[in-house]
Structure 1
Amino acid sequence: MFVRKLATALALVLATAGVASAQTPTRIQQFNAWGAYSYQANGGKVCYVLSVPKEKTPPGVDHGDVFFLVSQRPGQNISYEPQAMMGYPLQENSKVNVVIDGRTFVMFTKGNSAWVENAAEEPALVAAMKNGKDMQVQAKSRRGTGTAYSYSLSGISAALKQIEGCR
């Protein structure tokens, strides 16, 4: 089941990145709840870490495949860009909140994904992920259903270190 979800995630990452001619992603290594991956794209090598939620609420709702990832694309000067990916369309003009140790980071939405609203806060979110234990992600579906996801941050630091030298 986990492998199927990761395969779906890899396909979603490629589709979201708009990479038509990318090669199949390669799993570099798994670090507890976080896996490190890479693939070649037109703009060069892309590396990212990815995890799936350990809990999804509300129960009884089809959440689809839900992921949180942090990517870097050295060829495009993108370093450690957090992204939430839902298995459903998000409500237009809504916000996704990421909460770590009482600190909230706000993400803007487009389609089924969300990115940090203020790009200057991306390093702070990544630092909070490295130093935190758990992360909560709160979103609203296009139908108006409030959803919440709990992620373990166990392994995030090692996974990010693994892709540190992505070139």
Structure 2
Amino acid sequence: MTSLQTVALMLAIIGFSASFASAAPRMIKQFDHWGLFSYKDGGKTVCYVLSVPSKEDPVGIDHGKNFFLVAPKKTGGANYYPQAVMGYEVAKGSTIDVGVDGTTFQMVPKGNVGWTRLESQDAQVISAMKQGHNMTVKATSKRGTHTTYTYSLQGISAALKQAMACR
């Protein structure tokens, strides 16, 4: 089982899928470092893409399960949003900083999940990801630990293309 499949299984077990789906997600295909997943919601198939970090810093601490996903908005169509999911609760009043090849975007965390400050920034983040090579996600845990996660962006464009064509 790949680390992406492990994350999908974990999501189903902890009920993450229940927050936006009526059935557990399943992996359809892996595109380099990004997995394409689907679930049923009211009889409709919904697809999203997800990746896990290739590197976690600092070394020697329990980071929990961290991943980054791009999922469809409830409005449907080609409207997707990026989301950082941390393996721990993020410090109140802090941000989750997402860097793509030198451009930084801030996400606002709630608990262990982060979204862009403004919905209008979603497309900018996704566009940068599709054109980029590497992404870093930096956050501070509620205990004060500063963490950095490195993601490869290889496969994100192909995975998103398939997700948008998913039925």
Structures share fold, TM-score greater than 0.5 = yes
Secondary structure at 1:18 match in 2: helix
Secondary structure at 2:61 match in 1: coil
Paired residues of 1:9 and 1:67 also in contact (CA < 8 A): no
How far apart are 1:54 and its partner, in Å? 0.3
Secondary structure at 1:164 match in 2: helix
| Letter aligned with residue 143 of structure 2 | R
Paired residues of 2:11 and 2:17 also in contact (CA < 8 A): no
Gaps of 5+ in 2: none
Alpha carbons of structure 1 residues 11 and 165: separation in structure 2 relative to 1, 3 Å: farther
**Map 1:136-151 → 2, pairs under 5 A:** 136-151=136-151
How far apart are 1:27 and its partner, in Å? 1.4
RMSD: 1.9
How far apart are 1:46 and its partner, in Å? 2.6
Distance 2:93 2:56 in 1: 22
The answer for the alignment partner of 1:64 in structure 2 is 64
Gaps of 5+ in 1: none
How far apart are 1:16 and its partner, in Å? 6.7
Distance 2:163 2:135 in 1: 21
Q: How many residues align?
A: 163
Secondary structure at 1:137 match in 2: strand
The answer for the alignment partner of 2:86 in structure 1 is 86
Corresponding position: 1:107 with 2:107:
yes
Distance 1:105 1:52 in 2: 19
TM-score normalised by structure 1 residue count? 0.89
Distance 2:89 2:139 in 1: 10
Paired residues of 2:101 and 2:132 also in contact (CA < 8 A): yes
Distance 1:141 1:43 in 2: 38
